[in-house]
Every structure is written in structure tokens, then in C-alpha cells.
Amino acid sequence: MSREYHQTVYTPPEGAADLLLIRHGRTEAARPGESFPMLDGHGDPALHPEGEEQAVLVGERLKNDPISAIYVTTLRRTHQTAAPLAAHLGLTPKVEADLREVRLGDWDGGEYRIKAAEGAPEFKRAIERQEWGEIPNAETTAQLHARVRAGLLRIAAAHPNERVAVVVHGGVVGAAMALASGAQAFHFNGADNGSISRLVIRGETMWVKGFNDCAHLR
């Protein structure tokens, strides 16, 4: 009988960390003339009830995964999103501050959403040039990418041969995917709330293995 050769199932290379990047759930709405609470220069809204439900669904999706650790950022929407999964797994989330959302300067606290909806010239330039720094007093795309890369590599170095859940922000998911793939800076912006993307990291090498998985939300 002749030998048979079947297609293989992907497994991360030896020593690599398998990171599930979860975008936090939907947050409360921005309103003209009001600001979200601020934390270290960042708007810090709470989850909307729909976002709380998305967090529950993320927890259900991943509760049987062999996850060794959960990471969140300094902002409460990531803590709230991680809570159901952390309860399932009996894990206490760790904070990685460098994975907090892009700092939006004068437009933080909710103003960015309003300016984007209005089609402000600075917003249009930011999109066209793929440069966060077009927003008044915001950090630059290069600054965001540098700290996101540093945060991801720290987590990966701490978890060789392990799967880790990392609850982050839309701008951070976009930056991470661009860094790993070599795509244009804003190519992966727009991941859905509650979505799961996947990066495998060994040393300083990153591989994109999934983006914007929302099957658990439908």
C-alpha cells in the first residue's frame, strides 16, 4: 500500500507565543459638549450594554481555549471586556500599558468620533496620509507603532509556547497587524468590537494568522 500525505494543521513554531488580540466591546456614545472621563490623556468610556454582551460572547468563545494569561491595557473598557473570560479561566488580567489606544490629543475624550462623522479636514488628511499626527496634538503613527511593537514583544517573550488573550483597542489591532504583515499603516484599521485577531510571535518576528474573527458575535 502506498503512503498517504495529507494537508497539515498549522501549529506555531517552537518557542513562539500565540496571541489572540481581542478588541474591546462597544463603548458608550460620544455626545457634543461632553467628554468621557480621562485617564493619562486618554478618553476612558465604559462599555455600552451591547459591549457588555459582546464581552460575554468573547468569554464563551474562548473559555475552553488553552489560554495561559490575559492582558489588558490601562483603560477600563479592556478590563470590562476581559472580565467574563477571566472568570471562566480563573485568571487575573495583567496590564500592558504600551497597548493602550492611540492618543488623540485635542480630539480625545470622544471628540474624535464627532470630528470623523463631520468629515473634518484633519480627519480626512489623517486617513489619506495614514498619519495619526494630523490630528491636533495626537501622537504620530510612528510613535504608536513603536510602543505597540514593544508591548507585543514583551508579552511574547514572557509566554513562549503559550496562548495568550490580549484585550486591546481598534487602533492597536490595526497597528499590530500592519507591523506583522508589512501592510500600509491604516490597512487593518476598523476591526469590529469584540472581534478576535491572531498574531504568532517568536523573537522579533511576527506572523498574522487571523483578523477580525466575529463568528461568536453573530
Give backbone dihedrals phi and psi of 102, rounded to 5 degrees, phi first. -55, 135
Out of 42, 79, 96, 101, pick the active-site residue: 101
Confirm whether 34 is a catalytic residue: no
Out of 24, 145, 159, 169, pick the active-site residue: 24
Confirm whether 101 is a catalytic residue: yes
d(C-alpha 189, C-alpha 168), whole Å: 13
Q: What is the DSSP string of the chain?
A: -----PPPPP-PPTT-EEEEEEEPPPBPPP-TT----EETTEE-PPBPHHHHHHHHHHHHHHTTS-EEEEEE-SSHHHHHHHHHHHHHHT---EE-GGGSPPP-GGGGGGHHHHHHHHT-HHHHHHHHHT-GGGSTTPPPHHHHHHHHHHHHHHHHHH-TT-EEEEEE-HHHHHHHHHHHH---TTTT--PPTT-EEEEEEETTEEEEEEEEE-GGG-
Give catalytic residues, as residue numbers.
24, 101
